[in-house]
Amino acid sequence: MLYALLCYDSEEVVGAWTKEQDDAAIAKLEVVQKELARQGKLGPVARLMPTTAATTLRKGKETIVLDGPFAETKEALLGFFIVDCASLDEAIAVAKDLGKASSSNGCYEIRPLSLFRPGAAGS
Amino acid sequence: MNDLGWIDLALRSARPRAVGALLRYFRDLDAAEEAFQEACLSALKTWPENGPPRDPAAWLIFVGRNSAIDSLRRQSKQQALPDEEQLSEDGTDAEADLAERLDGAHYRDDILRLLFICCHPELPATQQIALALRIVCGLTVKEISRAFLVGDTAMEQRITRAKSRIAAAEIPFETPDAHDRAERLAAVAAVIYLMFNEGYSATGGDAHIRAPLCDEAIRLGRLLLRLFRDEPEIMGLLALMLLQHARTEARLDADGNIVLLEDQDRARWNRPSINEGLALLDKAIRHQRPGPYQVQSAIAALHARAARAADTDWAQIERLYATLERLQPSPVVTLNRAVALSKVEGPEAALALIEPLGPQLASYFHFFGVRGALLMQLGRADEARASLDRAIALARTAAEAAHIRLQIDRLLNRGGEPCPSAN
């Protein structure tokens, strides 16, 4: 089963990192990712730009384009990993590993995928 | 984070909202700052054990308000409120939710007010910036004095003076109407851009010390845009700062010499920063409400989009500067348009455009730099030399002077190479 690990965290806190702190945070996460990649379990990984760069389109008869993210919450969706795990337990274990390597609080939402097309953009 | 660094970060990012709300309660800047300090001390005591509260700002507002009220009650020998330790063991979240409900509706205006009082028009620009760094960003006096390259005592005095001037002035506590809000927003945006430029225009050996000014300005720009999500000029301001800041590493060489925009190693430009700037500019343009920040960021974007200096769309840049001249007439803008014009139509047209600016820009380093370069291109070596000498005399940093000397060397050795002012 493919799982999406959606990273939610306080943008204000993560945005306040210095470049050194940010680089260190990414480096620690990459150690875990490398191991997952070695096991053939790692799919696409994405880091999203701050929600200030987001635009939301409300569907309907007439679509409305709004500035900002889908919802204004304390913790925003900052990025995601796609991992291939045999079970939810394994996906939770992977999320725990990432969590240990992570430099902030926040949380991971673990959501199984029902459709996955790797695509070719950006590669 | 294994160490307690996360608490520092959480306190820092909660600061504008918390101090803004406490200012609304106490209507006094010193009282608000003191209450925030108290709340931070409580946080340092309780968060490592209990973990962070769900909403750090709401927690700090609640605890800060209570500690201040508590000390008032103690003074008046009334019954005290429960102390902070008890508070954070039970029901913190419920209490914080209450504070959040109280504040949620206000926090936008709270933060804007906090920023706005730092932008008091009676304060000189450097005091506005220093105050914003101290009160909103929470930088220490030491950090601020380092950023401004002055002594700690001098900066301490400057901030104290600025604060007492604000205290004497009327702080606007009523909820602003749309017009007032727009005015405050514009004033705050201007000071944030001043702060950015204070860091950005300082080139030379001290540049690395002043980078924090740029970082803080960008942080405040983000904060402002999160509060006012659909303001195209705020998008433009943040885009502009991100696009300019992206070039930082390429702007000086290993010896601290200025590297011109067209000579910069574009591989050293910060791509994520550029991409974010471009995304914000795209969002802003959709609104079709152009303004000076959007136009300036569109100019920066054209530079960022050019893979090589030779690919720069100077004709479009010239048109954008012409738009900027209409929106915000200034001899400096015209000077910049002249640089673009020289690329499109040649040095003669550019020189004709800037000659009338002489009296207004008589003490402006870049004017004589650009003028000298244009004269150089036209083969008028003696006049070029005189203009560049004047530029050296007006240079604010060693790097600026060194840069012009290099131009003079080229003039003496080979003659005739373009030298735009901006990098």
| Interval B84-94: pLDDT, tens | 544 444 445 55
Please give the C-alpha separations between residue A34 and each of A31, A47, A117, B98, in angstroms, as whole numbers.
5, 16, 22, 44
* Contact by Cβ (8 Å): B370, B343: no
The residue type at B209: I
The residue type found at B384 is A
Query: For the stretch B58-88, what's the b/e string if a residue is b when 16 or more beta carbons lie within 10 angstroms of its beta carbon?
Result: bbbbbbbbbbbbbeeeeeeeeeeeeebeebb
Chain A residues lying within 8 Å of B286, measured CB to CB:
65
Average pLDDT, chain B: 85
Q: Is A27 on the interface with B (CB under 8 A)?
A: no
Q: A66 contacts in B (CB within 8 Å)?
A: 230
* Cα gap B397→B206, rounded to integer Å: 9
B170's tokens: 């009327």
Q: Does A18 lie at the interface with B, CB-CB under 8 angstroms?
A: yes
- Higher pLDDT among residues B278 and B27, named by residue: B278
Question: B133 Cβ partners below 8 Å, 6+ apart?
Answer: B139, B143, B144, B147, B195, B213, B216
DSSP B357: G
Q: Which residue has the higher pLDDT, A115 or B326?
A: B326
Cβ neighbourhood burial of B160 (10 Å; 0-12, 13-18, 19+): exposed
Of B242, B201, B204, residue with least CA distance to B366: B201
Q: Looking at residues A59-74, what average pLDDT do you find? A: 86
Residue from the list A49, A52, A74 with its beta carbon closest to the beta carbon of B225: A52
Confidence of residue B96 (pLDDT cuts 50, 70, 90): low
Chain B interface includes A92 (CB < 8 A): no
Inform me whether the C-beta atom of residue B14 falls under 8 Å from chain A C-beta atoms.
yes
Q: What is the mean pLDDT of residues B272-301?
A: 96
Interchain CB contact of B54 with A (< 8 Å): yes
Are B219 and A104 inside 8 Å of each other by CB? no
Q: Give CA–CA dist B315/B341, Å, rounded.
A: 8
- Residue B42: partners with Cβ closer than 8 Å, 6 or more residues away: B63, B67, B84, B88
Measure CB to CB from residue A67 to each of B9, B54, B283 and give the nearest one: B283
Q: What would the pLDDT profile of B199-237 be if each residue is shown by its tens digit?
A: 887 644 454 446 778 988 999 999 999 989 999 999 999
Which residues 159-188 in chain B show a CB within 8 A of chain A? none
In whole angstroms, give the CA distance from residue B277 to residue B299.
Answer: 12
A67 touches chain B (CB under 8 A): yes
Contact B49, B92 (CB under 8 A): no
CB contact under 8 A, A16 and B13: yes
The answer to whether B260 touches B420, Cβ cutoff 8 Å, is yes
On the CB side of B276, CA atoms within 13 Å amount to 24
Angle made by CA atoms B102, B107, B111, in degrees to the nearest 5:
145
A42-47 and A2-9: which strand pairing?
A: unpaired
- Confidence check: pLDDT of B192 > 90: yes
Minimal C-alpha gap between B192 and chain A (Å): 17
Q: Is the pLDDT of residue B97 over 70?
A: no
Report CB contact under 8 Å: B280, A103.
Answer: no
Structure-token pair, residue A30:
């990459």
Average pLDDT over residues B298-326: 96
Q: Residue A52: which of B6, B55, B226 has the nearest Cβ? A: B226
pLDDT at A98: 93
CA distance B326 to A5: 50
Q: Is the pLDDT of residue B422 over 50?
A: no
HSE (CB half, 13 Å, CA atoms) of B56? 30
pTM of the prediction? 0.86
Measure the CA angle with vertex B167, ends B165 and B173; round to 5°: 125
Q: Which carries the bigger pLDDT value, residue A13 or residue B193?
A: B193
Closest Cβ opposite residue A15 in set B10, B51, B222: B222
> Which of A49-53, B2-6, B325-329, B405-409 comes out lowest in average pLDDT?
B2-6
Which of A9, A52, A102 best probes binding to B when mutated, by most B CB atoms within 10 angstroms? A52
Q: Which of A66, A47, A58 is nearest to A9 (CA)?
A: A47
Please indicate whether, in this complex, the C-beta atoms of A52 and B12 are within 8 angstroms of each other: no
Q: Which residue has the tokens 């106490």?
A: B26
DSSP state of B267: G
Confidence band for B1, pLDDT divided at 50, 70 and 90: very low
B14/A12 Cβ within 8 A: yes
Q: How far is B327 from chain A (nearest CA, A)?
A: 25
> Amino acid identity of B336?
N
Burial of residue B189 (number of CB atoms within 10 Å: 0-12, 13-18, 19+): buried
Quick: pLDDT tens for B104-127. Answer: 567 788 888 899 888 888 888 888
CA distance A13 to chain B (A): 6
Instruction: Decide if B198 contacts B190 (C-beta within 8 A).
Output: no
Helix and strand totals (H; E) in chain A: 3, 6
Inter-chain CB proximity B6 and A50 less than 8 Å: no
- From A14's Cα to the closest Cα of chain B, the distance in A is 8
Check CB contact of B55 with chain A, cutoff 8 Å: yes
Interface predicted TM-score of the whole assembly (ipTM), two decimals: 0.85
**Contact yes or no for A12 and B13 at CB 8 A:** yes
A76-84/A2-9 β-pairing = antiparallel
- Asked whether the predicted pLDDT for residue B325 surpasses 50, the reply is yes
Euclidean distance between CA atoms B270 and B82, whole angstroms: 50
Chain B interface includes A46 (CB < 8 A): no
Average pLDDT over residues A40-58: 93
B52 at interface of A, judged by CB pairs closer than 8 A: yes
Does residue B296 carry a pLDDT above 80?
Answer: yes
Q: What is the mean pLDDT of residues B321-343?
A: 95
The whole-number pLDDT of residue B420 equals 44
Q: Which residue reads 């800060």 in tokens? A: B64
Residues in contact with B383: Cβ distance below 8 Å, sequence separation at least 6, in sequence order: B375
